[in-house]
């Protein structure tokens, strides 16, 4: 049995209040850490709307749900809860509300029904944040499309790929990543000054991505698309990894030549 002090810590929520302008990735990361620490994460699982035999972690897998589907599955699931689960669900809901700034608190709290479970409260928050996020995701896609290796000091492809991957991860985690973005990435990588040894593999990747866009254009099953991209090594993570490796190998291959040229240059400069 938890003491009142322990329960107060669990209900306290995050130190930094969640606002409409906060990064959703940061919110999720901090909330998951808080819930795991206080044993509240178990009530954040909900039956997958598309697969009745699977449970999903709603904090990460929120794109699969709506407020209505979370409410429907939450009602059925709460009937299976024991007294400990019911306490955890109430505490998780309270901790989330305690983490919101005044504006979000009023919006989410007013929309909650008495029997709503934590997943419903989470989806109400997501619904509110996504009104802002839709524009944010559109901005991220534009940023990726406009981001060139020439904007990085020394055209450092490793730095370029790391930054692009961070942006892609944010889209992917929110279920907003599109294959067309991969094509933008490849086309931008082709602008780097790496010579034929660097560009030839990318030209082939560009061809494969274009073919994948045509092939997957009418495919609605995201899991099928993901499986195909993994099979063809066309995930954004793989494309960025390969580009970074090719550029690194190119640079390493040029070092012996550069050293020889440097050595000859020093000899030429010695006084006779």
Lowest mean pLDDT among 2-11, 100-109, 180-189: 2-11
Would you say residue 263 lies in a domain? yes
- Tell me if 186 sits within 8 A of 206, measured CB to CB: yes
Would you say residue 135 lies in a domain? no
- Tell me if 253 sits within 8 A of 216, measured CB to CB: no
Q: How far, CA to CA in Å, does 237 sit from each of 71, 152, 186, 207, 243? A: 35, 19, 12, 17, 10
Would you say residue 20 lies in a domain? yes
pLDDT of residue 98: 96
Instruction: Mark which of 103, 130, 157 sits at the end of a domain.
Output: 130
Domain count, the chain: 2
In angstroms, the CA 27 to CA 42 distance is 18
- 236 and 118 in a common domain: no
Task: Answer whether residue 265 shows pLDDT above 90.
Answer: no
Would you say residue 139 lies in a domain? no
- 186 and 88 in a common domain: no
Would you say residue 67 lies in a domain? yes
- 231 and 115 in a common domain: no
pLDDT of residue 6: 66
Instruction: Mark which of 102, 130, 158 sits at the end of a domain.
Output: 130
pLDDT of residue 217: 85
- 90 and 60 in a common domain: yes
pLDDT of residue 252: 72
Q: Which residue spans within the chain are E strands per DSSP?
A: 45-48, 51-57
Instruction: Mark which of 130, 157, 189 sits at the end of a domain.
Output: 130
Instruction: Specify which residues 45 forms β-bridges with.
Output: 57
- Residues of the domain holding 158: 148-269
Would you say residue 136 lies in a domain? no
More confident residue, 101 or 63: 101
Task: Answer whether residue 99 shows pLDDT above 80.
Answer: yes
- 126 and 9 in a common domain: yes
- 126 and 156 in a common domain: no
Would you say residue 140 lies in a domain? no
pLDDT of residue 258: 36
- 168 and 57 in a common domain: no
């Amino acid at each position: 049995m938890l003491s009142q002090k322990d329960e107060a810590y669990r209900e306290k929520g995050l130190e930094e209040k969640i606002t409409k302008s906060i990064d959703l990735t940061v919110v999720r990361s901090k909330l998951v850490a808080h819930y795991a620490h206080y044993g509240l994460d178990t009530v954040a699982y909900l039956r997958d709307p598309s697969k009745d035999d699977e449970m999903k972690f709603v904090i990460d897998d929120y794109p699969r749900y709506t407020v209505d589907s979370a409410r429907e599955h939450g009602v059925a699931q709460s009937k299976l809860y024991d007294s400990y689960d019911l306490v955890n669900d109430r505490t998780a809901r309270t901790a989330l509300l305690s983490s919101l700034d005044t504006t979000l608190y009023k919006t989410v709290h007013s929309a909650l029904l008495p029997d709503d479970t934590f997943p419903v409260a989470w989806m109400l928050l997501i619904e509110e944040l996504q009104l802002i996020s839709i524009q944010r995701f559109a901005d991220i896609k534009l940023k990726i499309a406009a981001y060139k290796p020439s904007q990085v000091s020394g055209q450092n492809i490793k730095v370029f790929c790391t930054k692009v991957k961070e942006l892609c991860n944010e889209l992917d985690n929110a279920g907003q990543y599109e294959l067309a973005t991969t094509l933008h990435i490849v086309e931008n990588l082709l602008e780097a000054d790496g010579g034929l040894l660097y560009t030839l593999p990318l030209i082939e990747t560009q061809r494969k991505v274009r073919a994948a866009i045509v092939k997957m254009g009418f495919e609605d099953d995201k899991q099928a698309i993901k499986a195909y991209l993994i099979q063809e090594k066309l995930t954004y993570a793989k494309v960025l990894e390969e580009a970074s490796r090719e550029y690194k190998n190119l640079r390493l291959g040029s070092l012996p030549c550069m050293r020889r040229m440097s050595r000859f240059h020093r000899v030429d400069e010695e006084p006779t």
